[in-house]
């Protein structure tokens, strides 16, 4: 079995689950051109826990973890089955992690996969973000996941490099603040240089642009997991680049 790629997706608004636009078209195209995975492991910005947890559920429910959106979004179901043996293997790879039978697939996962694999015919599970870990520790967990790539697992990080909901520009869908563009470019360069220090010490490295772009870290951390699961032999590309509403970077990153 050939080694699977690693993917980071800037997922943006939950409404992208229902949308047809350049961003969602790029996800549809990725699902067609990437090697078919045995399973998808998603590190979603929307599952934060004390301690690292691995979803262990043969029939994970679709979690609608948001409010104030139209009913059709709450009607979306993504009935992928859960790969229990791979969940056990993932727990083994990450010392101190535990299995969680109660969580499901949150919108950081299904809003992306509904475009990549619309038939929900690929098994899916999640890895949580341990809120007690440092950025460097998140990156190190990503490294521990790397053997899964050789078992047919597509590792997906779902968040946003720039994610500031308080400063959203509701008037212009495709707007981008200067500081958001600056930080997104800085992180792109850090990825290309394979500079883990810049990625894990982004505020020290990039100052005010970083503080505005990452007011809370949960949407940035999935990038660290995917970077950790990649290596210097991977080809780096960007299946999609762009911004939504000023303060959301929609950049996708692929290591293949």
Q: What pLDDT is attached to residue 191?
A: 98
- The whole-angstrom separation of Cα 69 and Cα 18 is 11
State the CATH class of domain 6-255: alpha beta
Q: What pLDDT is attached to residue 45?
A: 98
β-pair type (236-240, 153-159): unpaired
pLDDT, tens digit, 9 for 90 and up, residues 40-58: 999 999 999 999 999 999 9
In Å, how far are 59, 118, 142, 207 from 77, measured between CA atoms? 12, 11, 28, 41
Q: What pLDDT is attached to residue 67?
A: 81
Domain boundaries, the chain: 6-255
- The whole-angstrom separation of Cα 237 and Cα 220 is 18
Nearest partner of 41 among 29, 53, 51, judged by Cα: 53
Q: Is 236 helix (H, G, I), strand (E, B) or coil?
A: strand
Q: What pLDDT is attached to residue 2?
A: 83
Q: What pLDDT is attached to residue 1?
A: 65
Q: Is 170 helix (H, G, I), strand (E, B) or coil?
A: coil
Q: Which residues of the chain have pLDDT under 70?
A: 1
In Å, how far are 19, 61, 63, 127, 182 from 191, measured between CA atoms? 29, 34, 31, 22, 14
Q: What pLDDT is attached to residue 133?
A: 98
Q: What is the dihedral of CA 182, 15, 39, 51, to 10 degrees?
A: 70
- The whole-angstrom separation of Cα 184 and Cα 142 is 21
- The whole-angstrom separation of Cα 95 and Cα 179 is 38
């Amino acid at each position: 079995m050939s080694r699977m790629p690693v993917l980071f997706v800037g997922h943006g608004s939950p409404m992208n689950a229902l949308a047809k636009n350049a961003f969602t078209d790029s996800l549809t195209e990725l699902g067609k051109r990437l090697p078919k995975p045995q399973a998808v492991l998603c590190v979603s910005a929307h599952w934060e826990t004390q301690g690292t947890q691995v979803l262990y559920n043969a029939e994970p429910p679709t979690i609608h973890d948001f409010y104030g959106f139209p009913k059709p979004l709450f009607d979306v179901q993504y009935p992928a089955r859960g790969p229990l043996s791979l969940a056990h293997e993932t727990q083994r790879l990450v010392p101190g992690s535990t299995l969680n039978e109660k969580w499901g697939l949150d919108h950081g996962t299904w809003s992306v996969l509904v475009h990549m694999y619309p038939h929900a015919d690929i098994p899916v599970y999640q890895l949580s973000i341990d809120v007690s870990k440092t950025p460097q520790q998140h990156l190190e967990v990503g490294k521990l996941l790397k053997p899964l790539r050789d078992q047919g697992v597509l590792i997906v990080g779902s968040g946003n490099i720039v994610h500031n909901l308080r400063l959203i520009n509701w008037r212009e869908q495709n707007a981008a603040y200067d500081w958001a563009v600056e930080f997104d470019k800085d992180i792109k360069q850090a990825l290309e240089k394979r500079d883990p220090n810049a990625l894990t010490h982004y505020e020290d490295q990039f100052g005010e642009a970083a503080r505005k772009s990452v007011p809370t870290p949960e949407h940035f951390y999935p990038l660290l997991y995917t970077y950790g699961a990649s290596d210097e032999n991977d080809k780096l590309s960007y299946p999609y680049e762009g911004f939504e509403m000023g303060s959301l970077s929609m950049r996708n990153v692929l290591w293949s």
